[in-house]
Structure 1
């Protein structure tokens, strides 16, 4: 039972991360194609909240390893999250 709950949780987590990063990428691309280089200044303010949320949620990956939900090494994932 624990395996299926962990799988559903990880699937939902990675789906949320994928949708968030896809939203960021598509909005950045649309703003660049619409406004050109003039969009550089306002793009961070437009997608900044979602970008901060996705980066904040990436800290959960460390807890996934610590709780045993995901089998991976902690040090490489810590470097990935902090970089």
Structure 2
């Protein structure tokens, strides 16, 4: 018997894709309802990684550009 062309259950060598969330705060900032720096600080303090709030480490990054905040995770599941 020949096993020509049979690969079995070999996982592909790809990297898992992390999640990315973009929060557009243009309208509230223009109306002076909120300060985007305060929201960024709030997210850094409240996002839980591994069950601990504020412990983002290298797996989660929060960046701010004008009126948008981007939260990016690398292979991390967020706690509820």
TM bucket, shorter chain: 0.3 to 0.5
Q: Which has the higher helix share?
A: 1
The TM-score with structure 2 as length reference comes to 0.32
Larger radius of gyration: 2
TM-score with structure 1 setting the length:
0.31
